[in-house]
């Protein structure tokens, strides 16, 4: 029994070593990553496992590899990609990289620098200011402002590209894309409000 286990273990190690020891020769210019990995799969005779959408954001690959070990080839091909790999037996597993603390901090700082101060004015269909209209950021209920006596509002440190949600009692709410100068935002009377007016005038 022990002899069988030793033989099987030796066989598996040889299979693993033969896969890792494969050498890759490949020249590609602006080729899709999936295509490049498929050629590596053919040359190495190894399986490649990955999620269906993992290559959606992958950059195109330009490499010139000449008889180099499989591991070195994968390092070159995945260089600059947000992907990592793992070699296991006769399989290459492709995964997304986990963002490091430094990367997350850098991203937060960049987002902060991309924030803007938003200014605008809310009026009705006649151009009259709507005083006390609510201006918030869609999806972030903790940041909002009200219009002043001129219908003007301002919001600080708003993510560029965020969506403003503007509302006022009796008027249909409106969504607009945030920008430094939103300009005049016109709110229309809501249908329910118009219906109320219609019922009222019917008493003549």
Please give the average per-residue pLDDT across 190-200, as a whole number.
Answer: 56
Element (H, E) at 108: helix 101-113
Residue 13, pLDDT score: 43
Please give the average per-residue pLDDT across 179-200, as a whole number.
Answer: 74
d(CA 195, CA 112): 45
Residue 202, SS3 per DSSP: coil
> In which residue ranges of the chain is CATH 2.60.40.1120 found?
109-191
pLDDT digits (tens, 9 = 90+) for 104-155: 677 666 665 578 899 999 999 999 999 999 999 988 777 889 999 999 999 9
For the domain covering 109-191, report its CATH number.
2.60.40.1120
Top-tier CATH class for 15-96: alpha beta
> In which residue ranges of the chain is CATH 3.55.50.30 found?
15-96
Residue 81, pLDDT score: 93
* Range of weakest confidence among 19-28, 73-82, 91-100, 158-167: 19-28
CB 152 within 8 A of CB 131: no
Residue 204, pLDDT score: 38
pLDDT digits (tens, 9 = 90+) for 165-189: 999 999 999 999 999 999 999 999 9
């Amino acid at each position: 029994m022990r002899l069988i286990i030793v033989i099987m273990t030796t066989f598996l190690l040889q299979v693993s070593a033969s896969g890792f020891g494969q050498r890759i020769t490949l020249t590609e210019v602006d080729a899709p990553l999936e295509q490049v990995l498929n050629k590596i799969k053919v040359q190495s005779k190894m399986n490649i496992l990955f999620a269906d959408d993992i290559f959606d954001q992958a950059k195109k690959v330009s490499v010139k590899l000449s008889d180099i070990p499989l591991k070195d080839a994968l390092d070159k091909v995945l260089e600059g990609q947000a992907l990592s790999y793992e070699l296991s037996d006769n399989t290459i597993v492709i995964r997304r990289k986990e963002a490091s603390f430094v990367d997350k901090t850098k991203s937060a700082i960049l987002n902060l620098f991309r924030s803007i101060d938003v200014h605008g004015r809310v009026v009705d269909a006649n151009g009259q200011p709507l005083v006390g209209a609510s201006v918030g950021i869609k999806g972030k209920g903790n940041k909002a402002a009200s219009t002043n006596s001129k219908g003007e509002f301002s919001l600080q440190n708003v993510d560029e590209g965020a969506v403003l949600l503007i509302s006022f009692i009796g008027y249909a709410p409106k969504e607009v894309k945030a920008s430094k100068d939103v300009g005049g935002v016109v709110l229309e009377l809501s249908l329910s409000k118009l219906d109320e007016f219609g019922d009222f005038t019917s008493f003549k």
